[in-house]
Amino acid sequence: MDELKLSKILIVDDQEYNISLLERILSRAGFNHIHSTMDPLQIENILTELDPDIILLDLHMPGMDGLQVLRMIREQSDADNYLPVLMLTADMTPEARQQGLQAGVNDFLTKPYDRTEVILRINNLLRTRYLHLQLLQHKNTLEDKVLERTNELQQAKFEILQVLGRAAEYRDDMTGQHTQRVGDLSGLIASRIGLPEPHVDLIRKAAPLHDIGKIGIPDELLLKPGRYEPHEFDRMKLHTTIGESILEGSYFKVLKLAGTIARSHHEKWDGSGYPYGLKGEEIPIEARIVALADFYDALTHERPYKRAWTSEEAITEIERQKGLHFEPRIVEAFLQIVHLVRS
């Protein structure tokens, strides 16, 4: 069966005879879904319930004429849906046609009706509608595919970030989980101090790259048990600027931020940190957050050169470093998070 014959047709005319005539013409042509109303005020509900494929609308009706009904139809219908309206009228003056076209009429049927013309005009409009709907469906499918591909690329980008972070940390953290823990805790702290959610998410994703500069530190130094000699510590400090150098020049916000964090996450609130001795708010807020998250996680997990501290020992040390190593506001946010986890 021709798919056009399955179309839902709505006839709006105040004359029962005209409706009956059109119904006979359409039925004989094979159309089976024909609906009609003599009350234009019912149009709004009918459009919602029926969702017609074409409307045959009488121009001259008492109370509410066809142009008023048409304006209401256009206001209610989705512009992308392309709902064709065929105006029924015996008035073929230039003024009537111009008013109809301005209101959004797609075509005209002149009374008295010619059966062949009725079917031809309806078929033409229905074909146009179905072509439009096919194009719209194709467009939506393409948009869905583009969105899916964009999401895949976005996910791949952040998975690569995580892999890079783990690659650096794996050299002195055999679990490879330090970077992710620092990212998660940094996100919690950033959210707790009231940063906007997009900024929080960016910090959570950039923080795992904070120690990527360790790639440039020799194993004998990175894995040395015990304390560093002064010259060794100076060499170790270079992982901050090495990390910044690795990440600099990126187009992506997350990598730009990761470079900032890599450079500054060992700066201290009181200005005694490295590599540049920045103080207070000279230190980027993201680096201040990651500094505490990195400090806590490093203390509470075993490394080649140290035992793992208990959580209580690490928290006590962080409280002692409030206003020295760490910004007081960030310490308070961290303590609130710890309290919530324990309660």
DSSP letters spanning 176-225: --HHHHHHHHHHHHHHHTT--HHHHHHHHHHGGGTTGGGGGS-HHHHT--
3-state secondary structure of 116: helix
Q: How far is CA 337 from the centre of its chain?
A: 28
Output the CA–CA distances (angstroms, integers) from residue 270 to 262, 288, 327, in the order listed.
Answer: 19, 12, 9
CATH number of 170-342: 1.10.3210.10
Q: Tell me how crowded residue 65 is: count the other CB atoms within 10 A of its CB.
A: 16
Give the pLDDT of residue 143: 86
Give percent above pLDDT 90 in the chain.
50
In whole angstroms, give the CA distance from residue 16 to residue 14: 6
Q: Can you read off the two tokens belonging to residue 278?
A: 């920045």
Question: Which sequence spans correspond to the domains of the chain?
Answer: 3-142, 170-342
pLDDT band of 305, cuts 50, 70, 90? low
Give the pLDDT of residue 140: 85
The amino acid at 254? V
**Using alpha carbons only, what angle is made at residue 206 by residues 159 and 197, rounded to the nearest 5 degrees?**
105
**Whole-prediction pTM value?**
0.59
Which neighbouring-strand residues pair with 36?
11
| pLDDT tens, position by position, 28-40 | 999 989 999 998 8
Give the pLDDT of residue 173: 59
59 close to 134: Cβ distance less than 8 angstroms:
no
Name the residue with higher pLDDT: 285 or 103.
Answer: 285
Give the pLDDT of residue 172: 59
Q: For domain 3-142, give the CATH superfamily.
A: Response regulator (3.40.50.2300)
pLDDT band of 174, cuts 50, 70, 90? low
Give the pLDDT of residue 101: 85
| pLDDT tens, position by position, 178-192 | 888 999 999 999 999
Average pLDDT, the chain: 88
Name the residue with higher pLDDT: 3 or 310.
Answer: 310
Is the predicted pLDDT of residue 222 greater than 90, yes or no?
no
| pLDDT tens, position by position, 11-32 | 999 889 999 999 999 999 999 8
Give the pLDDT of residue 1: 45
Q: Which residues are CB-contacts of 129 (< 8 A; sequence separation ≥ 6)? A: 53, 54, 82, 83, 84
